[in-house]
Structure 1
Amino acid sequence: MALTASLLLLAFGPAIARDCEDAARPIPSLYANETPFRDAIEAADTTPAAATKLSGITVPHHLLAAHLIARGFEAASDATYRRVIVLFPDHFRATRGMFATISRDFETVFGRVDSDEEAVEALAAVAGAPAVGAEACLFAEDHGLQAMLPFIRHHFPDARIVPLAISIRSKRKDWEAAAAALAPLLDDDTLVVQSTDFSHYLPHYEARRHDQQTLNLIAAGTFDQIALLRQPDHVDSLGALYIQLKLQRGHAGTTPLVVANENQQQYDPLPVAETTSYVVIQFGRFPDDVPAPDAEGTRFLYLAGDTSFARAMQDALLREPAAERVAEAVLRRTGGRPLAVNLEGVILPNVPAGIDDMTLAMPQDLAIAWLKRLNVAAVSLANNHALDLGEQGLSETRRALDEAGIIHAGQGETIRVAGVDLVALTDLNVNGSYDNDLITADLLAGIANGAGDRPLVAMVHWGREYADTPGPREKFLAEALARRAVSGIFGGHSHVASSEMQALAGGDALHLYSLGNFLFDQTAEKASGAIVELRIFEQGTFFGRLMPLPNLFDLAQEAAGQQVGISSGDR
């Protein structure tokens, strides 16, 4: 059950001073004991700084998850801010309007936090006049704000605060108005803190599903869908989440990076009937070629598209300057973490001379060395080139991968890698065939991931070459996979990467139609590629991030200093 303010007071100190109505004095602290804040801050001291200056963070406000609050603030603490805007839910429904703010200073267990009076006055259009008298006690009593103040005072002692309480009665038109009013306050010296807890009052298995829906919608960033999330099933202040995302995407031009997702059940050895979930998000202009930072309780898996060490790609990678350039470009983006790819073609100890151009056969020594060099942990063999030399060729490929310790999955097979269940599927038959509907109802019916305590992710080979959006068949299949509890659907075959991810079925599945090429002998004139970074959380959810790739074949040719043969296509 979610901790109430009264329970927090019993745990962490006496009640508020009786003078919250006295306009001549700062708002008193809800907490008298600094120990839980100090302990959390010290424990988070090893949290890596964000890769860029952050414009916002999302953190919990339950002190049960104080370690996550501390990590969120620690990641931003290498920068300085002169203003901190705090978006928080009006837990006790004390707000008469849709919003409330106040221009008084605040006492905390670490000292005073000053108000940004000018900025507070600027919010009058949406929040009305700053709170006075009894209404001011909202800001003394609500842990949504009060739990933030010690962290703000510790990390940003010179920053001034702009608190905005958001009524649970507020609607999308109100959130849009608030975002418009706050937007002029955003600058490089302002940090927007969204103080929210996520899924409430659900058993863990339901909370986990709601968390995944929310994470997928945040990754896809579609406001029409985000506005349909439910309070409190998904989040305790949909208004705070919406306003934060609107400010960050629409005005600051930043993107979200979810670095933590935990549930109260993870802290309790006994079953909890009504749980609360917690999410930590960083907002910034994150470089596309820098992997997300490590964090306690998370693992990573990277997904990449069409990969073949045959034909001209083989010639390019045999030149060491080219090999170094390609390896550096990939490892800079993955950090050497586990990678899964769609392996197009057959691995053979010796490739026969005179093999035709549409038969993708790769020498074992080169292919295995490269898979290991890039830390490829798993490959999908569900594609239209896996049977280029028949069942014997596929058998040779599996043997080579087994000997190298690289797990693999053929049509409809599910493998476990880096904390996810990964299912491989192809809708396309052998190269040159027009049998392009191999994913049948029976095959879909066989897809399952046991207890559901790990994300189920699909790598799917489908669609038309050189298309970056799905056709009717692919849309149908994606929706069918979402109904089968597949929470991530990532496609291949088209050689062209899609530019954005989508959330299907209210967020049940995160969908990228095409990863495009990874290592394939086609230039940027006709092909492109992307990597998806999956951060997998211990509770069995993930956050997906799309990272565009340079054309690795072009990089190899440039580094080699010469043009090598270029494929005219897949088939």
Structure 2
Amino acid sequence: MNKKVIVFTVIILVAILISIGIFLHTKKSPSENSTTHNLEEFSIASGVVPHHLVARGIIENFFQYISSKRKPQNIILLGPDHFNATNLAGKSFISVDSDTKEFHSLAVNNYLLQKLNNHDLAFDSSTVNFDHGITALLPYIKKYFPESGILPIIISSTASKEDVGKLIKTINIYAGSQTIIIASVDFSHYLPPKAADFHDVKSIATLLNFKENDFENLEVDSWQALYGARFFAKLQGEEFPYIVGQGKSSDLLRFDDSIIDAEGITSYFCVVFEKTNNQKTIEKGETILLVGDIMLDRGVESLIKKNSVIYPFQKISQFLRGIDIVFGNLEGPIVKEPQNFSFDSLKFNFSHQAADGLSWANFNLLSLANNHTLDRGENGLKETKQFLKEKNIDFVGNPLKCTEDYSFKKDDIILLAFNKTFSFGCSDEEIINTINLIKSSNPKNFLIVSVHWGEEYQEKNSISQRELAHKIIEAGADTIVGHHSHIVQNIEIYKSKPIFYSLGNFVFDQYFSKETQEGLAVGIEVYNNRIRYCLFPFKSHQSQPSLMDQKETNQFLKELALKSSPELLDKIKDGIIDIERSK
């Protein structure tokens, strides 16, 4: 063979081998900016996206992100039942008619639809077509995934976790590996912006950490859809979250205060769950809401009898949802046979139905460390605990004792409660000893100390309160919250720890002054490296608390700031106190 031919042939072979090597190397090591990815390496199991078109930028980014990673064969779209159609159908789920081939020019996965036939599913294309939780997202699916098969499913607000779990398990079996479940969900509704932000902390942490038992108490328009998408990610083993976006309607539309007061806002959170960890730092927190005195006798009892057991909480119930711990001071015992104390009596007792109302309002922790818990003696205290247990409401503290036996602990949070209104009750020394003991054995836990103390109707704390408060902080408490004065008192910062001397009344029948019909709810967001305190003033009319509007809130917080620690002036006015967490 001619040498030139041989050399040329060798050159061609080498060039081919080099090209193959470059190709294989490129396949194994795609550049960071490349939008072409290996499907197995970058697989996405599910995602959560809003359906309000106010958030169209977030929606667009969501579908762009999925498109850059993967072209799914099947898209299961889970949405809330905005018009209660499932109730009319008597089913937990509604999808398109069983013989539907296309829906909005997208192919329907009839095979999977038939497999779901035994899952309490109704077939009604017109109902699905009418619900914007589904239809708002279809143009984006057509734009980015026109060849994918879809299956839209509307979920009843009464569907159980077990119902949704069975549905998702069946989808997991029959849908195939190239399937994405998308939950079409908007988050907090009809609340002021700061309240929505506070609620979203729990919703996001529950979703990202897959806290299975917490989904049902989330402040979202379909916790069932969230649970379904997240459960599918777990079954697929693709649980790393990538947050695509977050926002509020008030920011996107630039609402003024009058619109917020009238309608509240809607918040949005958008995330995908994938196999690869592409987002290293995601801050997740726990939430606590603290309110003051809850008294359900006398005038409040009369209003409950005229209306219903949930009457006191009807105007603020949504605000009390979607929080890890909702705490209040229960100002009296719950007993089987309440005595009919006179209206001018300073003794209280509540019907056993009071526990139903408190449970409906999402209270899950109540202090028994006050001067009215023993108004029906030790037996009344025993009955109170029993009724609360039956409603899965925890309790903390004792009206006379102050040992660690009466503490409450959940995850990284500990709460102690003490009664200082009796001269023969807990001494300051006993309280400090208990705090020292708790803190020494739980040095990294966040410790809240609740104290029933002080003088009634006084706007500021007494000298003895301040002295005890400082000792409590020095012993290891991270936050002090007080009650008993029936009006909101000042906030002090001591050694970088806040002292809320009194939160005032939450539910009471003291209609004789403006101050006794105002209160402060303190929302606490607990993170690894910081603590955020959110201040939510409310007003009460006929024993029904409701959040103040923005103008009232601004005035209330301004007055509170002026009587509190000077270094907190601007923070209290803004309604947010941020403090770095001690290491």
Instruction: Tell me if both proteins adopt one fold, taking TM over 0.5 as the criterion.
Output: no
Which structure has more RCO (C-alpha within 8 Å, separation ≥ 6)?
Answer: 1
The TM-score with structure 2 as length reference comes to 0.44
Give 1 or 2: higher helix fraction.
2
The TM-score with structure 1 as length reference comes to 0.44
